[in-house]
Amino acid sequence: MEQHELLNTHNKQEHPPMHTAEHILNATMVKMFGCKRSHNAHIERKKSKCDYFLPYSPTSEDMETIEKRVNEVIESHLPVTTELLSHEEAKRIADLSKLPQQANGILRIVHIGHYDTCACIGEHVQNTSEIGAFKIISHDYNNDTHILRLRFKLL
């Protein structure tokens, strides 16, 4: 599939500030807990949610740290840039495990400063200073499935 076909057939319509905040949250979770990026996400303008596989329930202090770190990245005024790379080049710098099998040509890679790099076709802000403040509004952990669900909004 050609690059323009892939981009056009999978055009996401998320709210750019919230979508960029999701990227920062994902990178923060990977850095803090060594988990993978969210396996399920619902990104909306008013509030969003992300699910993560974790072997244990994070503490309330962990939740405060997640929120603090995401806001520190936002407040760092990092540039958000994109580049087009071949699948081979992209897999050297980003986890491509969530991409569909047909996404093996030219991929759009999104960089948030040096904090996060991932393949994505969604809309983003140009600088993290455009996001606003990140707030975790609730979370729960399912001991049976080992899934942490975080619900968040932007202020």
Give me the CATH code for the 3-154 domain, please.
3.30.980.10
So what's the pLDDT on residue 15? 92
pTM of the model: 0.89
pLDDT tens string, the chain, 155 residues long: the values are: 334 334 433 444 679 999 999 999 999 999 999 999 999 999 999 999 999 999 999 999 999 999 999 999 999 999 999 999 998 999 899 988 888 777 778 999 999 999 999 999 899 999 999 999 999 999 999 999 999 999 999 99
CB atoms within 10 A of CB 86: 12
In the chain, domain spans? 3-154
Q: CA-to-CA distance for 27 and 78, rounded, in angstroms?
A: 14
